[in-house]
Chains A and B, each alone.
Chain A
Amino acid sequence: MPQIELINVEKRFAAGGRSVLALSGVNLAVEQSSFVSLCGPSGCGKSTLLHMVLGLQAATEGEVRVEGQKVVSPSNRIGTVFQDASLLPWRSVLSNILYPIELRKLPVRQFRDRAMELLDVTGLSKFADHYPAQLSGGMRQRVAICRALIGDPDILLMDEPFSALDALTRDEISVELQDIWSKRRKTVLFVTHSIREAVFLSDRVVVMGLAPGRLVEEFDIDIGRPRTFAVETHPRFNDLIHNIRESISKGRIPAPAETVE
């Protein structure tokens, strides 16, 4: 049984009195412990898809299942990292990481060691008592990753988590994420605009297209792990990037079926 499953999912929004088809005919299965990226142009419904898996939005048609059960509301088996770190400015780093524990009304004290351990993994142990305003963008996003992992979720959803970071920080944090993933084996669903990032990190890259938002093509990334930046010289790596880019171009052409956008 796949850990995340979307079956014939369709999503419509009401906008200005009209119904807009945001996603149509989406079928996707993400196996346990795999790293899957969604890649596509702006407006293809990547984030909408993620929100449906999270339980923040409901599908208009079809069904979204996590661990075989229909998603109706946010679940604590899922940890999420958003585009901006979304840290509470009035809380210290440690307190931000423990925020989900507090929301779940679990004993916060018992999770302190775990939070410190996660900070250690991301190299931020010294900053436990700092406030978000005192951190760089990369550090803030690392804190957000720690926060997503604090409840030891089975699934990690990441919505363009590195897009606000500079290119060098982005590379650095990608390698760290791969490290964390290979040690903890979470199922990761990763939304990104960066083809290179998607190929570097994923087991599978799903290309999405526009008008309406839909899945266009899937690519298995058959490159061994652990990956270092040396893979960039790998001909297979560059072939994949090229093929995915072509596929994204194809996805920009509206689908022949009914389109209301």
Chain B
Amino acid sequence: MSGLKVGAFDTVVGAPLWRSFILSPLWPATVFAALLLAWEFYVRVSGVLPVILPAPSDVAAYMWEQRVQLLENAWPTLYQCLLGFALAVVVGVLIAVLLTQSTVIRRGFYPLVVGIALIPKVSVAPLFTLWFGTGAVSRVSLVFFVSFFPMVVSPASGLMSVDPSLLKMARAFGATQRQIFWTLRVPTALPYIVDGMKVAMSLAVIGIIVAEFVTSDQGLGYLIVFATGLLNTVMMLAAIVTLSIIGLVLYFAIEFLGKAIVYWER
């Protein structure tokens, strides 16, 4: 009987030990390790050229050897990315507040913001070089521009989605508009702001890399372009892996921050 159970909760059957393994984080980690091994195995057996596909072990070895170079290039990427992102968060939230304060402004500008949010914004990277030059200002501006729109749209919809029954209750107890803003709108918007930050963060990483592709003399994006010129695929992959690690760490930092801020939804 026990082997015939059907349904989402009973699909993992078998001995308790196997069951707890499947449900633990060890299982996806094992899958990941197996895929890496398969890659390694393929490279060794097939004899594919290292310039086309290097083995993961070679990439790892290169990363360890060149750790100083990688870190030196990771730093400008990281701080310019975070700077542009932070600006997008602050300015975006302020604009969102402004938009939701006045019907006139909202009706005029909000559709525009939503519209621009849909445009592929990295396409303006060359234009930004023209306007802001080839320095950090240009790159930070692109990161800001790319990650700014979700930081307006998401907080704005949060500020406008207060539970109507809470609004009625607050008004019945004599709340002023100002009190409603601080005690209802802002807390309601917090989870939306965190969601916006998650989207903006991943866009910011894309933004800084594209900016470094277009113009830079250091950074992980620069390293990737530089490695392509040398046909150094190991170096290219090392930069990509470093970048991925940065992206993941930043994403989970926001996830963690979100859980701390939005404590009541746990």
Contacts and interface: CB of A to CB of B under 8 A. Distances in A.
Residue with the highest number of chain A CB atoms closer than 10 Å, among B172, B176, B187, B265: B172
Interface string A47-87: 00000001010000000000000000111101010111010
A131 B264 contact: yes
B165 A86 contact: yes
Interface in B158-209: 163, 165-166, 168-176, 179, 183-184, 187, 190
Interface in A120-141: 131, 133
B173 A103 contact: yes
Given A84-B165, A90-B187, A74 B264 contact: no
Interface in B136-176: 163, 165-166, 168-176
A86 B168 contact: yes
Interface string A83-117: 11010111000000001101110000000000000
Contact of B175 (A83, A86, A103, A131): A103
A76 B165 CA distance: 19
B166 to A, nearest CB: 5
Given A84-B165, A86-B166, A90-B187, A56 B172 contact: yes
Given A88-B184, A103-B179, A76 B174 contact: yes
Contact size class for A? 20 to 34
Interface residues of B, number: 20
Contacts of A76: 173-174
Contacts of B172: 54, 56, 74, 78, 80, 82
Contacts of B265: 89
Given A90-B187, A103-B179, A133-B264, A82 B165 contact: yes
Given A82-B165, A131-B264, A88 B183 contact: yes
Contacts of B174: 73-76, 100, 103-104
Contacts of A83: 165
Given A82-B169, A103-B170, A103-B183, 19 more contacts: A54-B172, A56-B171, A56-B172, A75-B174, A76-B173, A76-B174, A78-B172, A80-B169, A82-B168, A82-B172, A86-B166, A86-B168, A90-B187, A90-B263, A90-B264, A100-B173, A100-B174, A103-B176, A133-B264
8 contacts: A78-B172, A89-B265, A90-B187, A90-B264, A99-B173, A103-B170, A103-B174, A103-B176
